[in-house]
Amino acid sequence: MKRTDAKKQLSRREAFHVLWADFRLCLREMPGLVLSRLAVRIFSAVSPYAGIWFSARLVDELAGDKDPQKLMLWAGLALICAALVSLASAFLERWQSTQGFTASRRLHRLYTDKFLRMDYVKCEDTAVQQHFATIEQNWSGPGRTVGDAMNILGGLVSAIVSILVGVGMTLSFFQSRVPPAGGALQVLDRPVMLILAAGLILLASMLPPLLLNRARQIETNLAGDHRLNNRLFGHFGYLGSTTKIAADIRLYGLVKFSDRYNNNKENTFHSAGLFAKLLRGKVGLLYASGVAASQLFGGMVYLYVCLKAWAGAFGIGAVTQYVASISRVASGVSELLSFAGKVRSEAPFIKLGLDFLNIPEEMYQGTLSVEKRRDREYEVEFRNVSFRYPGAEDFALQNVNLRFRVGSRLAVVGENGSGKTTFIKLLCRLYDPTEGEILLNGIDIRKYDPEQYYQVFAVVFQDWGLPAFRLRQIVAAGEGDPARVEECLRKVGFGEKLDSLPEGIETYITKDYDKHGVDLSGGEAQKVAIARALYKDAPFIILDEPTASLDPVAEAEIYEHFAEISGDRTAVYISHRLSSCKFCDEIAVFDRGRVVQQGSHEALLADTEGKYHALWNAQAQYYNQ
């Protein structure tokens, strides 16, 4: 069958290297969970042998002298042993359960923390986003992700321990000889018969996991199909419950896309789909053969042990011990091979996660403290700054030279794709320049502690987002001062809406966590985002298309109070609507990644050959001059 996963098959050595790296990661991040799982695995491998041994002694006594005192002794010891095993098992399971309760969250936190540490430019990289989407699909679909090493290595250790203890309890089986009275059955003691029996038992114990590993490998090779179709089904199969597009579903009959994934029997996961066909065919045959081989092995063990017991090599109690012990040894061999097979089949999925967590963080992390100035005298300068996105051939910005005057209001204008938002992200040090340098008070911003540098800026991006928290928590980015929160909201024109909220600034935004929460319109939410920037009270305030979701009246209100909103801050204002530029002291005109003009509204408009004049005239029909 054709493989649909593009990943390279790992060698066993590479797979074990990946598994060991994952195990060390788990041990570092979740030591309690790793140790508790190993303890449970080892105890589960050893504890059954205690019951097997005491049961054999009890059966021997029942089949032999039937001494009441010995029977009571063995029965009492068996009960005490069972009680201690149960107690220890309950303790270990409780320990494991307690440690594992938050395991999934801890693993998710690894990825969340990585995103927070990662260079922002890589967070936006489509390849990185696709990488993480693949990890999520593997996790939610087959359930394969970072952390699986705990189960696989735990299984290998458990299997090895089970084999070693079992071998110790079955050695006497091969040393027990059939007496002369056994007649023809003495042939069972011949070396060739012992080797043959051991070989057949070993083969029968190895065959099931080999067959099951082959079945798993086929499924692993089709992981790409599984991910893709799980992703498609997760989207299209639930369109009918997507409230945001409920009106479109009704008006345009989009429910037919849901029907295609819900009712078509030939879809990947349905009765006539790919995986159903595999289970009815090759994969199903491999699974069935594995089970059949396992049952065949059980019959062979019973036959060989019972024949030696019938011939007088040992008593009936030993039959119980040997059958159970050999079965446990064979089960251990099967588990060993099964988990060894999982090493190669699971390693590519684990490697995807590890590769993501090991994406290099290349932005220089400075340590200089940013001077805290009450007078807000922070000067920023771009010197010959150019920037090119990773993997791109052309520069998004090229040779930008610009200085911000303290306390001024700068408008940044230009057509879509001219580099305005890239310019802002460089200013905030979300990106580092490819060429040139950006200075804060004469020092390269890369030398500053990033967290302190971020505090200089309050930004409202055009793709802003609000979490489903209380309004006060959203504006203050925490608990905050209620009076200041309300002041900022009213300053941006949110006062009328605020007065209508059932719990004022304590109202939850959306109903995700509170049935009394409210859903804001796009314009209302954008006002809240601007109020959040005001509350931060940073020396620089940056508004990237701040009125895009506002109606004309609300937009005029923002413009009218723009000077009050910006206060004594240095304000950077990005907009497609050039009418807003009249409120700014200076305008920088971007075109194809370059600053082509800079000056006041009147001066730029007077340059009839300039880009600003052309942009203004293109929009002039919408202005009331």
- Interval 340-349: pLDDT, tens: 778 877 888 8
Domains and CATH numbers, the chain: 12-356 (1.20.1560), 380-466+520-622 (3.40.50.300), 468-519 (no CATH)
User: What are the C-alpha distances in Å from 2 to residues 219, 222, 223, 281, 393?
Assistant: 12, 9, 12, 16, 35
Rounded distance, CA 603 to CA 357, Å? 52
pLDDT > 90? residue 264: no
Q: How far is CA 56 from the centre of its chain?
A: 50
Residue bearing the bigger pLDDT, 412 or 580: 412
Q: Give the confidence band of 231 by pLDDT, cuts at 50, 70, 90.
A: low
Distance from C-alpha of 122 to C-alpha of 132, rounded to nearest angstrom? 12
- pLDDT category at 193 given cuts 50, 70, 90 is confident
Secondary structure (DSSP) of 484-515: HHHHHHHHTT-HHHHHHSTTGGGPBBSSSS-T
Tens digit of pLDDT for each residue in 82-94? Answer: 899 889 989 998 8
Between 513 and 595, the higher pLDDT residue:
595
Look at residue 397 and tell me whether its pLDDT is greater than 90: yes
- Tabulate helix, strand, coil % of the chain (nearest 5): 65, 10, 25
With vertex at residue 328, the alpha carbon angle to CA 150 and CA 77, rounded to the nearest 5 degrees, is: 100
Q: Residue 160: which of 392, 338, 381, 360 has the closest Cα?
A: 338
Query: Which CA distances in Å does 401 have to 205, 374, 420?
Result: 74, 27, 14
Rounded alpha-carbon distances, angstroms, from residue 115 to 111, 125, 130, 353, 358: 6, 12, 14, 13, 11
Strand partners, 599: 587
Sign for the CA dihedral angle at 473, 479, 484, 486 comes to positive
DSSP letter, residue 332: H
Question: What is the DSSP code (8-state) at residue 518?
Answer: B
Report, as an integer, the average pLDDT of 69-83. Answer: 84
pLDDT band of 376, cuts 50, 70, 90: confident
What pLDDT does 4 receive? 38
Is 510 or 219 the better-scoring residue by pLDDT? Answer: 510
- In degrees rounded to 5, what are phi and psi of residue 507? -70, 135
**How does pLDDT run across 530-586, given as a tens digit for each residue?**
888 888 888 888 888 766 666 666 666 666 666 677 777 888 888 777 777 777 888
Residue 511: its pLDDT value, please?
A: 81
Per the structure block, which two tokens stand in for 122? 């890589």
Alpha helices in 237-395 (DSSP H): 246-252, 255-262, 274-280, 282-310, 316-357
Q: Report residue 310 as tokens.
A: 């019938």
Pick the closest to residue 547 from 559, 535, 537, 563 (CA basis): 559
Both tokens of 479, joined, read 């608990």
Q: In angstroms, how far is the first alpha carbon of the chain from the final one? A: 71
**Residue 439 predicted with pLDDT over 90:** yes
Rounded to an integer, what distance in angstroms lies between the CA atom of residue 454 and that of residue 473?
Answer: 19
Confidence of residue 133 (pLDDT cuts 50, 70, 90): confident
| Burial (0-12, 13-18, 19+ Cβ within 10 Å), 324 | buried
Calculate mean pLDDT across residues 128-132. 89
Taking residue 190's Cβ as centre, other Cβ atoms within 10 Å add up to 11
| pLDDT tens-place string over residues 25-36 | 988 888 888 899
Instruction: List the one residue out of 456, 201, 172 whose CA is nearest residue 303.
Output: 201
Query: Which of 383 and 213 is assigned the larger pLDDT?
Result: 383
Per-residue pLDDT band at 6 (split at 50, 70, 90): very low
pTM: 0.73
- The reported pLDDT for the residue numbered 2 is 39
Q: Give dist(CA 159, CA 162) in Å, integer.
A: 5
**CA dihedral in degrees (147, 287, 163, 344; nearest 10)?**
-40
- Burial of 352-372, coded b for 16+ CB within 10 Å and e otherwise, reads bbeebbebeeebeebeeebee
pLDDT tens-place string over residues 583-608:
788 899 999 899 999 998 889 988 88
Dist CA 593 CA 419 (whole Å): 5
Asked if 419 and 440 touch (Cβ cutoff 8 Å), the reply is no
* Maximum average pLDDT range among 94-103, 188-197, 218-227, 608-617: 608-617
The number of residues making up the chain comes to 625
* Main-chain phi, psi angles of 458, to 5 degrees: -120, 120
457-491 tens-digit pLDDT: 888 887 777 788 889 998 988 877 899 999 989 88
Distance of alpha carbon 587 from alpha carbon 301, whole angstroms: 89
pLDDT tens-digit map of 270-309: 666 666 666 666 666 766 776 666 666 667 767 777 777 7
Compute the mean pLDDT over every residue in the chain, rounded to the nearest whole number: 80
Task: Return the half-sphere exposure (C-beta side, CA atoms, 13 A cut-off) of residue 45.
Answer: 27
Q: Is residue 625 over pLDDT 50?
A: no
Judged against a pLDDT cut of 80, whether residue 388 lies above it is answered with yes
